[in-house]
Amino acid sequence: MPKKNIVILVVVVLVIIVGLVVIVGGKYSSPQRTFNRMVKAMEKGDIDAYLECLTEDSKEILINAGIKEEDPEALKESAIDFKEEDFKVIEKTKDTAVMKSETGGELVFKKEKEGWKLDFEATFERMFEQYTPTEE
């Protein structure tokens, strides 16, 4: 193999390795990192950064509900509640994770192509399962 081809091969391999490091260690590489980014976005009142922490379906729901027209101060106020709670991952599979606070609140995260994102629908489903009385 000519020296030029070896150099090109080495460069391609390095680019792939760097890309994998960025993906694996990226902004949404774990439910905890996504949660932390979400709270920071809320503290700043940055609606767009907040939406990036949500699954595509959740993002669509909030956009259709008019979140982009909301006052960023409301988002900042919501951040206080999340910041005061100590959310920890209590369940995790390869594509779903549940974080729970000290007071019992739970958030469900799903893994999408960009990484872990908060899923409103799954969070609400889980909440209703917990608080819906079962027939005996």
Q: Each residue of 38-94: pLDDT tens digit?
A: 999 999 999 999 999 999 999 999 999 998 888 889 888 888 888 888 899 999 999
- Report the pLDDT averaged over residues 119-133: 83
* H-helix or E-strand spanning residue 45: none
- Note the pTM of the prediction, 2 decimals: 0.76
Give the residue among 81, 121, 87 at the shortest CA–CA distance from 106: 87
Domains, the chain, ranges and CATH?
Answer: 28-131 (3.10.450)
Q: What angle do CA 107, 93, 101 make, to 5 degrees?
A: 25
Lowest mean per-residue pLDDT among 16-30, 51-65, 81-95, 106-120:
16-30
